[in-house]
Amino acid sequence: DSGVTQTPKHLITATGQRVTLRCSPRSGDLSVYWYQQSLDQGLQFLIQYYNGEERAKGNILERFSAQQFPDLHSELNLSSLELGDSALYFCASSSTGVRNEQFFGPGTRLTVL
Amino acid sequence: AQTVTQSQPEMSVQEAETVTLSCTYDTSENNYYLFWYKQPPSRQMILVIRQEAYKQQNATENRFSVNFQKAAKSFSLKISDSQLGDTAMYFCAFMKWVMGSGNTGKLIFGQGTTLQVKP
């Protein structure tokens, strides 16, 4: 158990819908990262938040957005869903130490029908 | 931009044998970190081993060790005494060093190598 929690574990929805994925980082971790794992694109970085502020952006679609709240939990919002958005979405958090490690949550499996 | 390449989509090894997974990367950065992550059928991402680019000594974690060749931009993973529980997809990942405590850079992953350990 990495200490990072993600809800829900599975999500099935229809095209055109909007969903919200939730992530709680490890206690004390200020950074949260979102990654998408799909068969087509592999594992790719979407976005990073650090202590409530957006810090880095990857190949995140305009239909996707994220935020980090004062209690440090983060939400990833996916809207106008398409079949190609079906993927496993991971959240990770990083330590305040010097080891530069990211700890991954169990992921949310999104299926768009 | 940094890229990570894993040229072996699938590999297999007999239980108790040794296997090496290959990884190459491309970067103009001098300070960075390299990682191997394991993803078993449960889909959980598990850190196996990490290497700081400024360290010449290869990292070792129990049965797992790396061969880090900075000039060649190569970072292979050796698994000794393979066990059935090592069956998983293995990802090589690159992270640029970012200044600031608690603020790591993004991970850039290779495409992964599926390893099957056979009894």
* pLDDT score of B101: 52
* pLDDT score of A28: 87
Bridge partners of residue A90, in order along the sequence? A35
Looking at residues A90-105, what average pLDDT do you find?
A: 82
Length of chain A equals 113
Q: Which residue has the tokens 């590999």?
A: B11
* Of residues A58, A94, A104, nearest to B45 (C-beta): A104
Residue type, A99: R
Beta carbons within 10 angstroms of residue B9's beta carbon: 10
In the predicted structure, residue B30 carries a pLDDT above the cut 60: yes
| Cα–Cα dist A70/B60, whole Å | 38
| Cα–Cα dist B20/B44, whole Å | 22
Bridge partners of residue B35, in order along the sequence? B50, B93
Strand, coil or helix: A50:
strand
Running DSSP on this structure, what letter comes out for residue A44? E
Q: Which residue has the tokens 């990884």?
A: B23
Residue type, B5: T
- The answer to whether the CB atoms of A45 and B108 lie below 8 A apart is yes
| Cα–Cα dist B5/A109, whole Å | 25
The minimum CA-CA distance between A54 and chain B, rounded to whole Å, is: 12
Chain B residue with CA closest to A100: the answer is B104
**pLDDT > 70: what percent of chain B?**
95
In the predicted structure, residue A7 carries a pLDDT above the cut 90: yes
Pairing relationship of beta strands A87-94 and B3-5 according to DSSP bridges:
unpaired
The size of the A-B interface in CB pairs under 8 A is 68
Length of chain B equals 119
* Chain A residues with beta carbon closer than 8 angstroms to that of B91: 43
Q: Which residue has the tokens 């990802």?
A: B91
- The answer to whether the CB atoms of A48 and B106 lie below 8 A apart is yes
The minimum CA-CA distance between B107 and chain A, rounded to whole Å, is: 7
Does A52 contact chain B (CB < 8 Å)?
no
Q: Which residue has the tokens 């491309």?
A: B26
Q: CA nearest A110: which of A24, A11, A39? A: A11
Question: How do residues A20-59 score in pLDDT, each as one tens digit?
Answer: 999 999 998 989 999 999 988 899 999 999 899 998 899 8
* Of residues B37, B47, B101, nearest to A96 (C-beta): B101
B102: pLDDT confidence band, cut at 50, 70 and 90? very low
Looking at residues B44-69, what average pLDDT do you find?
A: 94
* pLDDT score of A99: 64
* pLDDT score of B104: 67
A1: pLDDT confidence band, cut at 50, 70 and 90? confident
| Cα–Cα dist B58/B74, whole Å | 12
* pLDDT score of A41: 84
* Of residues A2, A43, A102, nearest to B104 (C-beta): A102
Question: φ and ψ at A55, to 5 degrees?
Answer: -115, -35
| Cα–Cα dist A17/A60, whole Å | 18
* pLDDT score of A40: 84
Does A96 contact chain B (CB < 8 Å)?
yes
CA B1 to chain centre: 19
